[in-house]
Amino acid sequence: MNKTLIYAHRGASKLAPENTMPAFELAAAAGAEGIETDVQLTKDNVPVLIHDENLRRTTNGKGFVQDYTYDQLRLLDAGSWFSSKFSNVGIISLDEFLQWFQKQAMVLNIELKTNVIEYKNIERIVYEALKRHQVLDRTVISSFNSNSIIRMHEINPAVRTAFLTSTKRRDLVEYAKSLGANDLHIKHRLLDKKLVKQCHRANMDLRIYTVNRPNMMKKCYKLKVDGIFTDVPYEALEYRGLH
Ligand code: G3P
């Protein structure tokens, strides 16, 4: 097991609006080893990077992502809610992001946001985009929705997947394995030594979200988890250097 990798959660989302190019660029500049981002589908089936199904929280739009075409969504302001400095920042497609990501020496976690809306064919659409940009070998695809993990495994069992959960259950490792998942992504409060051992014994990587506090960072490093998702990658890097 190598060092705990630091994934910028939705980019460096404490410094710039989440899931936008400035947040990703700042994560790379900070030295984060990975990026975590969320994918939803537009009305015309374009995968776009946005966490919520609804546009309200992070844009000046209204209603659901799935009710707009990509060309309509591109016109929205996805930065002002965070700071007026970012008023010219928009929603980007997965393809636009991958054009940039392809040139970075980083790893990637794509979360398929299928836990609220089960977008038809999202697994195939995302798979094809990753393949086109030749980044499949450094990407892990995660979802809270077991069906997405199963479907991704059916598309290509060589694609690395992670079951994502915030719910404690005794047979978590066995359950994730039964879906075909390679790895497990859990909420920080579920982390304990036993689970780390169980995962590693089962040859699974364990990554923890969302780790923003020094104490939790310390615990993750001490237990040698494989990765953390953090809004503050620069702080996580600094702490990792001290442990
Ligand atoms: O993928 C890790 C973490 O981002 C999952 O939670 O709510 O940010 O999608 P959420």
Residue 160 included in any domain: yes
pLDDT tens, residue by residue, 69-107: 999 999 999 999 999 999 999 999 999 999 999 999 999
Supply the residue whose CA is at minimum distance from atom 3 of ligand 1.
209
Report CA(127)–ligand 1 centroid distance (Å).
20
Q: Would you say residue 36 lies in a domain?
A: yes
Q: Determine the atom of ligand 1 nearest the C-alpha atom of 113.
A: 9
Q: Provide the angle, in degrees to the nearest 10, between the axes of the packed helices 94-101 and 21-30.
A: 20
Q: What is the whole-number distance in angstroms between the Cα of residue 209 and the centre of ligand 1?
A: 7
Across 134-143, average pLDDT? 98
Give the residue whose CA is nearest to atom 6 of ligand 1.
209
Number of domains forming the structure of the chain: 1
- Containing structural domain, residue 126: 5-51+94-242
Nearest CA to ligand 1 atom 7: 51
162-205 pLDDT, tens digit each: 999 999 999 999 999 999 999 999 999 999 999 999 999 999 99
Give me the CATH number covering residue 150.
3.20.20.190
Ligand 1 pocket, 114 CB below 6 A? no
Q: Is 51 one of the catalytic residues?
A: yes
Is residue 80 domain-resident? no
Tell me whether residue 185 is one of the annotated catalytic residues.
no
- Output the pTM of the full model: 0.97
Atom of ligand 1 nearest to the CA of 210: 3
Residue with CA at minimum distance from ligand 1 atom 5: 209
Please enumerate in sequence order all residues whose Cβ is within 8 A of that of 209, keeping only pairs 6 or more positions apart, or say none: 9, 36, 185, 186, 187, 188, 228, 229
d(CA 135, CA 133): 6
In terms of residues, how long is the chain?
Answer: 243
In a domain, 162, yes or no: yes
